[in-house]
């Protein structure tokens, strides 16, 4: 599954990190991936990652 981050849309609410540890935050609280500096990454199908993407109130995380 491809996950894309759109930092401009992030409001630093914290939901995504509560659902999946693949997400982290920069110094301003904006979503990033925990283990890489890219804004797009591929992950095995994981219900927690999908839930994090679907729960994002501003759609700053897109799952394909």
List pLDDT tens digits, range 11-51: 999 999 999 999 999 999 999 999 989 999 999 999 999 99
Element (H, E) at 3: strand 2-5
Check whether domain 2-63 has CATH 3.30.300.30, yes or no: no
pLDDT band of residue 63 (cuts 50, 70, 90) is very high
pLDDT value at residue 56: 98
- Phi/psi for 55 (5° steps) reads -85, -10
pLDDT value at residue 50: 97
pLDDT value at residue 27: 94
pLDDT value at residue 64: 92
Q: How many CA atoms lie within 13 A of 18 on its CB side?
A: 6
pLDDT value at residue 6: 98
């Amino acid at each position: 599954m491809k996950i894309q981050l759109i930092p401009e849309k992030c409001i630093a609410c914290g939901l995504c990190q509560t659902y999946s540890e693949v997400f982290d935050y920069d110094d301003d609280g904006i979503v990033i991936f925990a283990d890489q500096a890219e804004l797009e990454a591929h992950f095995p199908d994981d219900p927690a990652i999908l839930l994090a993407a679907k729960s994002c109130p501003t759609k700053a995380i897109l799952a394909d």
